[in-house]
Amino acid sequence: MPAKLAPYSSPSQKVLGLYCLLMFTGRRFTLPQLSRELHCSKQTVMRMVEQIDRSFGGEVQSGLEKGKRIYWMPNPKASPRTTLSAEEIQQLELCRTMVLHLLPEGIGEQVRRAVAKASTLLADRDERDKAFTPLAVAEFKGRIDYTPHQEHITALIRGIQDKRTCEITYHAPNNPEPRTYAFAPRQLVSYREALYVTGWRVADRGAADPLRSIMLAVHRLQGVRVQNRAFDIEPDAESKAELFGLMVQEPFRSKVKFEKDVAAYVLERLWSEDQAITKYKNGRVLLEFTARSMPEVVSWVLSFGSKAKALAPRELVAQVTEEVRELGKTYE
């Protein structure tokens, strides 16, 4: 029997999660989107929709949009009365703490005020001190100050929300001068103490037809202006998959063997959604995974020094071998 996608959620918790997702977000979701959001199969989502219909009198609406079945919940006549527990506000504060170093000061302050306002929803106002008791701290190295890019981030968020193209000026490190072109932003991505934005390079005029998918480092943006051009581009399946690497290139299967000294580190982490691990009696482990960025895999393997050995594919082995050879020359 295959493993459950969400083994620690009870059926009632899943139904409540679906109800809250539809009721409180006001968004329209396709069946695959609901499946990903709730970490369960499409069949389970459909059963939960039926259960909500029976229990709440047909609250979930369904229809076709651009040939796809979508689900949503109409706006209630009166705002639902809800409360938050101190533990729920603690979780919001925990998330804020973990990402604060990636936000410009202005946006970080907005997030702080938004979380503080949530205290008005406490069932017991005497628990405010408990709700905001510091629980964690984020440690980092090589942090980028995004305060000069607050206007850029705000404009990108508008473009993502409204599905509007942006005219951006971007200075790539391998180009002598910055370039200006039209860009359709999809989402912001945090990765290794830095912010990126994914999307598509689109035609500069006329219909916003995608030319190619790209990923840009937010700190290299020199200008962002939201245009009055709408876009409707569906991300491909590969960009949705949880594979090794940030840069989206042609996926490839990798094999890397690790010594006992670093085996625990490797075993404790998820490297790709389709990874396979083989444990040996001598304590070594073999990790097989799908990656989509050869330079990132090369750098990652080298970061383990002599405790890791690339076995496949041949291109990975060749590049790691070459880097080791050049490194040796550097220290001769």
Domain boundaries along the sequence of the chain: 11-72, 86-131, 147-235, 252-330
Q: What pTM did the predictor assign?
A: 0.73
- For residues 171, 175, 179, 185, the Cα torsion angle rounded to the nearest 10 degrees is -60
- Choosing among 3.30.1120.130, 1.10.3720.10, 1.10.10.10, 3.30.1300.10, the CATH entry for 11-72 is 1.10.10.10
Highest mean pLDDT among 57-71, 203-217, 218-232: 218-232
Rounded mean pLDDT, 96-118: 87
Q: Which CATH class is domain 252-330?
A: alpha beta
Predicted local confidence at residue 80, as pLDDT = 64
Whole-number average pLDDT of the chain: 87
Rounded CA-CA distance 182/179 in Å is 10
Rounded mean pLDDT, 299-313: 96
Decide if pLDDT at 211 tops 70: yes
- Percentage of residues in the chain having pLDDT higher than 90: 45
Predicted local confidence at residue 303, as pLDDT = 95
Rounded CA-CA distance 131/134 in Å is 9
Decide if pLDDT at 202 tops 70: yes
Fold for 147-235, please state it. SH3 type barrels. (2.30.30)
Predicted local confidence at residue 151, as pLDDT = 95
pLDDT tens digits, residue range 237-272?
Answer: 555 568 888 877 789 999 999 999 999 999 999 999
Residue with more model confidence, 124 or 198: 198
Rounded CA-CA distance 127/121 in Å is 11
Q: DSSP string of 180-197? A: EEEEEEEEEEEETTEEEE
State both tokens at 139. Answer: 């440690």
